[in-house]
Amino acid sequence: AEDVTRLAITGMTCASCVGRVERVLQALPGVTQASVNLADETALVRHYALAGLPERMIEAVRAAGYEARIAT
Ligand code: 9UX
């Protein structure tokens, strides 16, 4: 099944940050689409319902140099 996870991400200040975050999210197995909204500081990620995938998203964003958490 397909899920949508919304992440709150801080530390992005330019359009290159947006592209970098979208790229690392889309590189994760199970992610089908990732779209960052710089003004909102959020990412909307469409993905398969794999165990642990949202936590891997957070780790990938942090490894790229930004802070992330699951948005409510
Ligand atoms: Mo732009 Mo973002 O010069 O880490 S890529 S601020």
**Number of domains present in the structure of the chain:** 1
Q: What range does the domain containing 40 cover?
A: 2-70
**Predicted pLDDT at 6:** 98
Structure tokens at 45: 């990620």
**pTM of structure:** 0.94
- Give the pocket of ligand 1 (CB within 6 Å): 13-14, 16-17
Positions of the chain with pLDDT lower than 70, given as ranges? none
**Predicted pLDDT at 44:** 98
Radius of gyration of the chain (CA): 11
**Predicted pLDDT at 37:** 97
Q: Quick one: which atom of ligand 1 is closest to the CA of 66?
A: 4
**Predicted pLDDT at 63:** 98
Instruction: Judge contact between 22 and 43, C-beta under 8 A.
Output: yes
**Predicted pLDDT at 1:** 76
- Ligand 1 center to 31 CA (angstroms): 23
ipTM of the complex: 0.84
**Predicted pLDDT at 72:** 78
- Ligand 1 center to 41 CA (angstroms): 14
Looking at residue 47, which CATH number applies to its domain? 3.30.70.100
**Which is nearest to 58 in space by CA: 48, 50, 68?**
68
